[in-house]
Amino acid sequence: MTRRDELFALARRTRGFMPDDEGEALFREGLAAARTTDTWLEIGAWCGKSALYLGAAAETRGAVLYSLDHHHGSEENQAGWEYFDPDLVDPADGRLNTLPAWQRTIAEARLEETVIGLVGHSEVVAAHFAQPLDLLFIDGGHGDAVAWADYTCWSPKVVVGGTLAIHDVFTDPADGGRPPYEIYQAALASGEFVDASATGSLRVLTRR
């Protein structure tokens, strides 16, 4: 089995919210990304599923992927909501905590020197993060304020020729929430980003 196939197989059995075809598209976009800083960042790590697809590409390219999350889940992951998983509750404080699962995923993948965890709120980390990004993947909270903050705080850090990927972009409101679709439209309307590819709800743009 090739290293790529090993990591894809692990990704498929890792819990999370990344369909196989969209994860494989992320991998291909990673391989094709600009090589200005070899620094990539994803917002929304959960248990490390998307980090395996991007990490597989980053390892091949010699890039580093920062995988950012506060690890307490989004609104829809909390008890009583649609995507709640009781296994991920920390018995010490009763809060959702995906960090241990994320660490186990990255360790099992032997990607600890390629995929680096950043634990914190996206907006706070962004204010103290100066490194330009060859690739940015936005897959964090879907609420209005958080999704817009992810776009406004992080997208200016993408280098010219760099990649901006956005997950959960649904053209039809019946399929899912609006904010990811709205920030995708805003990126196009800004004139700074152009469409590169689309797979399922994944939209990939390039900075002009």
Q: Which does 168 bind (CB under 5 to 8 A by kind): ligand SAH, Mg ion, none?
A: Mg ion
Q: Which does 117 bind (CB under 5 to 8 A by kind): ligand SAH, Mg ion, none?
A: none
What's the number of CA atoms in the CB half-sphere (13 Å) around residue 140?
A: 29
Q: Nearest approach, Cβ of 208 to ligand SAH (angstroms)?
A: 26
Q: Which does 73 bind (CB under 5 to 8 A by kind): Mg ion, ligand SAH, none?
A: ligand SAH
Q: Report if residue 105 touches ligand SAH, rule: CB under 6 A.
A: no
DSSP state of 14: S
**Residues 139, 147, 181, 203: which binds Mg ion (CB under 5 A)?**
139
Beta bridge partners of 177: none
Whose tokens are 């089995």? That residue is: 1
Q: Report if residue 46 touches ligand SAH, rule: CB under 6 A.
A: yes
Q: Which amino acid does the sequence have at 58? A: A
- Of 46 and 129, which has the nearer Cβ to ligand SAH? 46
Catalytic one of 72, 121, 128, 142 = 142
Q: Nearest approach, Cβ of 59 to ligand SAH (angstroms)?
A: 17
CB atoms within 10 A of CB 67: 27
Residue 188 sits at φ, ψ, to 5 deg, of -65, -45
Residue of 89, 48, 44, 52 lying closest to 70 (CA atoms):
44
Residue list 166-185, contact with Mg ion (CB under 5 A): 167-168
Residue of 13, 113, 63 lying closest to 54 (CA atoms):
63
Q: Quick check: is 167 catalytic? A: no
DSSP state of 87: G
**Residues 28, 110, 121, 178: which binds ligand SAH (CB under 6 A)?**
121
Three-state SS string over 137-167 comes to: EECCCCCHHHHHHHHHHHHHHEEEEEEEEEC
Q: Which stretch binds ligand SAH (CB under 6 A): 29-37, 72-80, 84-92, 126-134?
A: 72-80
In angstroms, the CA 104 to CA 173 distance is 35
Residues near Mg ion (CB under 5 A) are 17, 139, 167-168
Residues near ligand SAH (CB under 6 A) are 16-18, 44, 46, 49-50, 68-74, 98, 121-122, 139-141, 146
Just list the catalytic residues: 142
